[in-house]
């Protein structure tokens, strides 16, 4: 909360500091808030109108050094990451990227950040444009995407199913609505997600229960990595999904992982977020997981 208050104070002082300084201050406050757990950026949402595509004119951007543009881009990228559906943040990010592109001064890490943003927004046409524009940069190739939902992606539990070792994704509804489910929110490159699945699959009582009732969902559009994750941890690849958007998963925090949601007929009866990666403390996490199983009348 104190970070949100600080952010509001900074944004209110429009006559005290320059626009670019305010943007960088917002980024600093956002970075601090990102280190809270579980993350909660609700207070920041009210301040979206303070940063948008008109925040800095193209004429002014042309006066900035490449280093300053990159610094501003990192803030815009962070804002877009945490407020993915805020078009104004994305427009601001695109404006900065276009100026860097015009100068021919874009380092590979910014190209990758831009690509990841377009994937996260599920704007696959723009992602393909970037692949074409920067063909010499090592970016993951888009998989085949099958989508029969057309323009309406507003339904609950909408996600991408993965097949062909990540070479194909299909938009579908996760089978959460019926029966008992253990929904694990994870990221393939997250150390704590790895520790959690290793500990759970090593437990002779929990492993068969998780295999029968477990569904795994990630916010990251990384089908090849997720397919490899399934193979590594002996998880049925048909039970691994990529969330379409955060808004399709009401009640589930896709930004804090690992997270475990113990559900019955689409209702969350219990949940836990985080995992004790320390071997001496993992018994605490396993005990908490068992408590969640009890909430949906499963035993291990």
> Element (H or E) spanning 262, and its range?
strand 259-264
* Helix intervals (H) in the chain: 2-12, 19-34, 58-61, 66-82, 87-103, 108-120, 124-133, 191-202, 206-213, 223-232, 282-295
The answer to whether residues 264 and 167 belong to one domain is yes
Q: Which domain holds residue 18?
A: 2-106
Residues 195 and 70 in one domain: no
153 and 20 together in one domain: no
Alpha carbons 250 and 279: distance in angstroms, whole number: 33
Residue 111 lies in a domain: no
- The sign one gets for the Cα dihedral 274, 278, 284, 287 is positive
Q: Domain of 290: which CATH number?
A: 3.40.30.10
Rounded to whole angstroms, the Cα distance separating 82 from 39 reads 10
Same domain, 177 and 279: yes
Q: What pLDDT, on a 0 to 100 scale, did the predictor assign at position 81?
A: 87
pTM of the model: 0.84
Q: What is the pLDDT of residue 267?
A: 96
Give residue 151's pLDDT. Answer: 85
Give residue-wise pLDDT tens across range 268-285: 999 999 999 888 889 999
Same domain, 69 and 192: no
Q: Is residue 121 part of a domain?
A: no
Q: What residues in the chain have per-residue pLDDT under 50?
A: 1-16, 46, 48-49
Which of helix, strand or coil describes residue 264? strand
Contact 50, 9 (CB under 8 A): no
Residues 99 and 154 in one domain: no
Residue 128 lies in a domain: no
Q: What is the pLDDT of residue 23?
A: 75
CA angle 62, 64, 66 (to 5 degrees): 100
- The C-alpha atoms of residue 220 and residue 211 are separated, in whole angstroms, by 22
- pLDDT value of residue 13: 41
Residue 19's pLDDT is: 74
Query: Could you tell me if 290 and 154 lie in one domain?
Result: yes
pLDDT of residue 39: 60
Rounded to 5 degrees, φ, ψ at 109 are: -70, -35
Distance between alpha carbon 214 and the CA centroid of its chain, in Å? Answer: 20
Residue 135 lies in a domain: no
Q: What was the pLDDT predicted at 88? A: 86
Q: What is the DSSP letter of 174?
A: -
- CB atoms near residue 285 (< 10 Å): 22
Local structure of 160: helix, strand or coil: strand
Same domain, 101 and 152: no
158 by DSSP, 3-state: which?
strand
How many domains, the chain? 2
Q: How far apart are CA 183 and CA 136, in angstroms?
A: 38
């Amino acid at each position: 909360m104190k970070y949100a208050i600080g952010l509001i104070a900074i944004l209110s002082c429009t006559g005290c500091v320059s626009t670019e300084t305010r943007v960088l201050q917002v980024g600093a406050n956002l970075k601090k808030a990102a280190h809270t757990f579980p993350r909660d950026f609700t207070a920041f949402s009210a301040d979206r109108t303070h940063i948008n595509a008109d925040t800095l004119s193209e004429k002014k951007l042309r006066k900035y050094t490449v280093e300053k543009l990159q610094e501003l881009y990192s803030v815009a990228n962070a804002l877009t990451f945490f407020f993915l559906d805020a078009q104004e943040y994305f427009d601001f990010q695109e404006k900065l990227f276009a100026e860097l592109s015009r100068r021919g001064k874009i380092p590979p890490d910014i190209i990758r950040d831009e690509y990841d943003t377009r994937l996260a927004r599920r704007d696959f046409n723009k992602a393909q444009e970037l692949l074409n524009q920067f063909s010499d940069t090592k970016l993951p190739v888009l998989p085949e995407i099958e989508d029969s939902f057309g323009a309406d992606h507003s339904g609950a539990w909408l996600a991408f199913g993965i097949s062909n070792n990540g070479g194909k994704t299909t938009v579908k509804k996760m089978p959460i609505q019926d029966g008992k489910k253990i929904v694990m929110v994870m990221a393939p490159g997250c150390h704590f997600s790895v520790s959690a699945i290793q500990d759970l699959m090593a437990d002779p009582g929990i492993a068969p229960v998780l295999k029968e009732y477990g569904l795994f969902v990630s916010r990251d559009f990384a089908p090849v990595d997720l397919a490899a994750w399934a193979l590594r941890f002996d998880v049925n690849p048909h039970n691994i999904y990529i969330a379409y958007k955060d808004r399709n998963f009401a009640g589930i925090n896709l930004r804090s992982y690992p997270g475990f949601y113990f559900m019955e007929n689409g209702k969350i009866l219990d949940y836990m977020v985080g995992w004790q990666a320390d071997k001496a403390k993992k018994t605490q996490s396993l005990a908490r997981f068992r408590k969640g199983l009890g909430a949906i009348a499963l035993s291990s």
